Structure 1
Amino acid sequence: MDIALGTIPFGTTVDEKDTFAILDRFAEAGGRMLDTANNYPFWVPGRTGDESELAIGAWLAARGNRDQMYLSTKVGARPTVPGDTTLDSAEGLSAVAIRTAIEGSLRRLGTDHADLYWAHIDDRSVPLEETLGAFDELVKAGKTRAIGASNLHSWRLERARNISAANGLTPYTHLQLRHTYLRPRPNAVIPETGHTLTTDEHLDYLADTGVTLWAYNTLMFGAYTREDRPIQEIYDHPGTTRRLETLRQVARELGATTNQVVLAWLLADGHVPIVGVSSLAQLEEAIGATRIKLDDELKSRLDGVS
């Protein structure tokens, strides 16, 4: 199953019992990819950022299935000041920060390696050579198998990959960005300051290089289906009305939910949708999306709306 399970609420708003139930069902359905970070959910008062990794680690230990799962975690955005719920004191991407952070993540996850380790932010206060060199050390030490960049502009990704190629360092092979079926207005400013929206330039770059996109906020906080979750103002333009109409038409024809069609559309483009769930019902809906196959006609209809 080519979706990644988003785990931000695990160990906090989703307690251990429900976390284990969700992870059990995900694994039973063939899910392998778990996406977490060393700071989830630090922005909630009273939380440290340890919680998600600790919950996953407890489940892995209880089930003894580390080798069956693909662990993705991140470094760079964990506060260094206790109680800070902003990114003002983020640890950043210095070599020291990366070396320190991986040890904490591996300890909480109860493993000796991550399968994919991400730079959570773009830290321009640190030379890319230093950041990439530190990541390369982790790969050579067996502490991660691959590295990725989250919330990075395409020109910065290209620069980083060129530096890696020129210096024989492990390159970024994955990119994590906010991406969904609806398209924001050009130059729209999103309220979530830590998020970076996917652009056409990103998509063109990914198609040309084979870098894999992991897409987050795929279902827009539930706004596709929940009346209590309005679609954000950045999508307030005529194209949204047209795309929603087409999305809903395709969903009716397939006997699927709009959420499922969004996820199927992302999968059809070769992306990895990250789906954050807090209940088994939400997980079942996501699992159902992996059984939907968009034929060429349906895919073209969805893509063709501007």
Structure 2
Amino acid sequence: MAASIRIGTSDLSIAPLALGTNVFGWTADRDASFGVLDGYVAGGANFVDTADGYSHWVPGNGGGESETIIGEWIASRGAREQLVLATKVSTHPQFSGLAASNVRAAVDASLNRLQTDRIDLYYAHFDDADTPLEETVAVFSELVDAGKIRSIGVSNYTAERVAEWFAIAKDGGYHLPVALQPLYSLVERGFESNGLREVATSEGLTVFPYYALARGFLAGKYRDAADATLPGASPRAALASEYLDDRGRRVLGALDEIAASHGVEVASVSLAWLRQQPTVGAPIASARNTEQLPALLASLDLELSAPELDALTAVSA
């Protein structure tokens, strides 16, 4: 299995695969989510990623469903010490944005739902143009001092705004972020050219890409546009099928070849390629049932050769 890694300059150590949980309370009900968490931890991994807004977009949901399920699982298993727990603030309908008063209220609500006394990694989920960045930087640092969070992360920020966060934090003597969560995968390569990789390198940020499997496309689940309409298809299938162009088919072809040579599934190869990219600590991947977990966990043991990495990089360019 791939060696554990440290998140930035923090004292947080993780297996290099993050379990995304935006499906909890959406396409995975409570029992299915419990099964996924049980299997993920049993497989030797420990890094769970959620957000206070998951999954408010589902009819009947109000936000916080994913955190609530995770909190109930932690309580029922007595498993808090087994996890490194990441969540985010700014998208819960009742706690929108990154004003200081909102962040203070939101973190307490997340702690309550997660049934824990601290959050290991707390992200600013989306930049808030209506709140001065100085205010957000200060309140996140305040939460570290209060012991409510251990480390700070930023998600969905431009490179310029990440650099500005660091400038403000250094100038004010505030705690610095240790993690960055951008969109990045074999079919979403903008991270390499939009300045985010450079700022992650310069500031020592550990990168955790979301949509690492491109909503299931890079798991090989959608080979034809009709696959998105089959019974049992994920609600995300229509978005995944948007990658089914000539480039996407070339990527799947290369993935198929490498997966066959290793005797693993396509998803395992996709995640291994991402994990082996510069600055990346762990890809984030979700599972809505235990049947999807083995391919994710297998990526931890898969080391692609330099020619295999280069072939995937070239075909997905």
What band does the TM-score fall into relative to the shorter chain?
A: 0.7 to 0.9
CA deviation profile, 1:145-168 (whole Å, cap 9, x unmatched): 101111111111011111111111
Q: Please give the alpha-carbon distance, in whole angstroms, between the structure 2 residues aligned to 1:27 and 1:233.
A: 31
Q: Which amino acid aligns with 2:301?
A: R
* 1:220 pairs with 2:192: no
- State the match for 2:284 in structure 1: 274
- Counterpart mapping for 1:136-147 below 5 A: 136-147=141-152
SS at match of 1:104: helix
Q: Please give the alpha-carbon distance, in whole angstroms, between the structure 2 residues aligned to 1:162 and 1:131.
A: 13
* 1:103 pairs with 2:96: no
CA deviation profile, 1:75-111 (whole Å, cap 9, x unmatched): 111113xxxxxxxxx6100000100000000001011
CA deviation profile, 1:148-206 (whole Å, cap 9, x unmatched): 1111111110111111111111112211112111246xxxxxxxxxxxx6352222332
- State the match for 1:303 in structure 2: 313
- State the match for 1:249 in structure 2: 257
- State the match for 1:59 in structure 2: 73
Task: Give the C-alpha shift of residue 54 in structure 1.
Answer: 0.7
Q: Give the length in aligned residue pairs.
A: 285
Moved more, 145-154 or 174-183: 174-183
* 1:198 pairs with 2:191: yes
Structure-2 change in CA distance of 1:9 and 1:233 (3 Å): closer
SS at match of 1:216: coil
Structure-2 change in CA distance of 1:50 and 1:246 (3 Å): same
* 1:71 pairs with 2:85: yes
TM-score by length of 2: 0.84
* 1:93 pairs with 2:88: no
SS at match of 2:73: helix
Contact 1:75 1:119 in 2 (8 A): yes
Higher relative contact order (CA 8 A, sep 6+): 2
SS at match of 2:182: strand
Question: Identity over the aligned pairs, expressed in percent?
Answer: 35
Structure-2 change in CA distance of 1:122 and 1:288 (3 Å): same
Q: Please give the alpha-carbon distance, in whole angstroms, between the structure 2 residues aligned to 1:206 and 1:25.
A: 31
Q: Please give the alpha-carbon distance, in whole angstroms, between the structure 1 residues aligned to 2:262 and 2:206.
A: 27
- State the match for 1:150 in structure 2: 155
Task: Give the C-alpha shift of residue 67 in structure 1.
Answer: 1.3
Q: Which amino acid aligns with 2:263?
A: G
Contact 1:148 1:174 in 2 (8 A): yes
Moved more, 5-14 or 168-177: 5-14
Structure-2 change in CA distance of 1:146 and 1:45 (3 Å): same
- State the match for 1:42 in structure 2: 56
Q: Please give the alpha-carbon distance, in whole angstroms, between the structure 1 residues aligned to 2:172 and 2:268.
A: 42
SS at match of 1:178: coil
* 1:115 pairs with 2:120: yes
- State the match for 2:230 in structure 1: none
Moved more, 39-48 or 205-214: 205-214
Q: Please give the alpha-carbon distance, in whole angstroms, between the structure 2 residues aligned to 1:288 and 1:233.
A: 24
SS at match of 1:248: helix
Task: Give the C-alpha shift of residue 236 in structure 1.
Answer: 6.8
Where structure 2 has 5 or more consecutive residues not aligned to the other structure, the ranges are 1-14, 228-236
RMSD between aligned residues:
2.0
* 1:166 pairs with 2:171: yes
SS at match of 1:275: strand
Structure-2 change in CA distance of 1:235 and 1:25 (3 Å): closer
Contact 1:5 1:275 in 2 (8 A): yes
CA deviation profile, 1:29-75 (whole Å, cap 9, x unmatched): 11111111111100111101121111111111111121110110111
Q: Which amino acid aligns with 2:257?
A: Q
Structure-2 change in CA distance of 1:129 and 1:46 (3 Å): same
SS at match of 2:149: coil
Q: Please give the alpha-carbon distance, in whole angstroms, between the structure 2 residues aligned to 1:2 and 1:176.
A: 14
* 1:289 pairs with 2:299: yes
TM-score by length of 1: 0.87
Structure-2 change in CA distance of 1:63 and 1:204 (3 Å): same
